[in-house]
Amino acid sequence: MDFSLNDEQRQIYDYGGRLAQSFDNAYWRDHARRHAYPRAMFEQIAADGFLGMMVPEEYGGSGLGMLEMALFMEGTGNHGIPLFSMVVGPCMSLSHLAAHGTEFHKSELLPRACRGEIQFCFAITEPGAGSNAIRMETMARRKGNRFALNGSKTFITGADVSDYCLVVARTQKHTEVARKTDGFTLFAVDLKKPGIDMQRVRIAAPLPEEQWTLFFDEVDLGPEDVVGEVDEGFSILFDTLNPERIVVGAMCCGVGRWALGQAVEYASERNVFGQPIGAHQGVQHPLAKAHVAVENASLMTRRAAWEFDQGLAAGASSNMARYAGAEAGIEAVDAALQAHGGSGFTEDTGIYEMYPLMRILRTAPINRELCLSYIGEKVMGLPRSY
């Protein structure tokens, strides 16, 4: 078994250090406090060629895989730069279009998206359905060979700065389908189309990316907007949900590692009882324990990414990576906060400001209970609870 990275992977993993020279954790926090989209940073990421990492070269990307995307997300996280927009855009949406989109999506939209000229968001959550996506009600009603989209999606990250949204909708009512996973279709919806409205969801946590509720009223869609097969959307949905789980896990590992690095530096210098506080095991052990959690989770994200790239069933490892990553990120930031004492809560250190995002990621984009249910039922064979 080979755990080493090749030269290209190492460069991708280390890119966060280069990015942080111009756009560091303080830059991220400044934008997070103001809920201001960090446009200059994403222009730099686009110019450096990282938006199209999972898009084949013929469509303007660099044709790399899930592992490279996970390394990128963990590597930027290592420098205290969590790139949530990368999760819903380049990872969930662009890779999905590259795999299942129409020729228009691939040859017209992907090259522009890889250059950062257009952006994508991803919409599955609904006010009434939440975690239970099967019960979603947003409906693309057939009108000849076209569709009329009606309904709403909520908590959609970055809808305000996006040009297109990958929307998961019903094309058959849940009462009319043989299997409960039938009757879903994915659409790449141009957000400039008539009939689309949006309203901001006011998230209390510091986050550069804003969340929005989207309302669809008779939005006209055609076959050219369909991603994959009509009514068969669920069969390809996990091609995008597993990557989301993997990169969120990786991002949490990176941020956790960043926080622990800050704590080690602080605890090695801060001296209140005649020696650095890091010499006290009461300070040292929580940091060491969190370090173990972060490194374990990091290994699992790499395994999940590798399985995904090999075309293996990656559901088990993706859910474990997602669960372990978020828990490790929370544990690490919390331990780092405690080690910093009062200074952890100041705007100078910025440790506290990383906590809300880590805590969000225990609940969203998928909550930890659904990850555990997947592991309990699909991996361990326990009876299904819902």
**Site residues, ligand FAD (CB under 6 A):** 88, 121-125, 130-131, 155-157, 203, 211, 360, 363-367, 369, 373, 386
124 vs 277, beta carbon nearer ligand FAD? 124
245 vs 302, beta carbon nearer ligand FAD? 245
Beta strand 164-170 with 120-123: parallel, antiparallel or unpaired? parallel
Distance of closest approach, residue 226 Cβ to ligand FAD, in angstroms:
19
Q: CA 80 to CA 64: how far, in whole Å?
A: 24
126 vs 225, beta carbon nearer ligand FAD? 126
Residue 49 Ramachandran class (φ > 0 left, ψ -120 to 50 alpha, else beta): left
Residue nearest ligand FAD by beta-carbon distance: 130
287 vs 321, beta carbon nearer ligand FAD? 321
Q: Are 5 and 64 in contact (CB under 8 A)?
A: no
Distance of closest approach, residue 282 Cβ to ligand FAD, in angstroms:
31
Distance of closest approach, residue 248 Cβ to ligand FAD, in angstroms:
10
Which residue type, as a one-letter code, is found at position 183? G
Distance of closest approach, residue 79 Cβ to ligand FAD, in angstroms:
21
Distance of closest approach, residue 374 Cβ to ligand FAD, in angstroms:
11
51 vs 123, beta carbon nearer ligand FAD? 123
What does 271-318 look like in DSSP terms, one character per residue?
BSSSSBGGGSHHHHHHHHHHHHHHHHHHHHHHHHHHHHHTT---HHHH
Distance of closest approach, residue 134 Cβ to ligand FAD, in angstroms:
11
Question: Which residues fall within 8 angstroms of residue 76, CB to CB, at 6 or more apart?
Answer: 15, 16, 19, 82, 83, 251, 254
Task: Give Cα 203 distance to the centre of its chain.
Answer: 17
91 vs 250, beta carbon nearer ligand FAD? 91
Distance of closest approach, residue 9 Cβ to ligand FAD, in angstroms:
27
Q: What angle do CA 192, 193, 195 make, to 5 degrees?
A: 115
88 vs 139, beta carbon nearer ligand FAD? 88
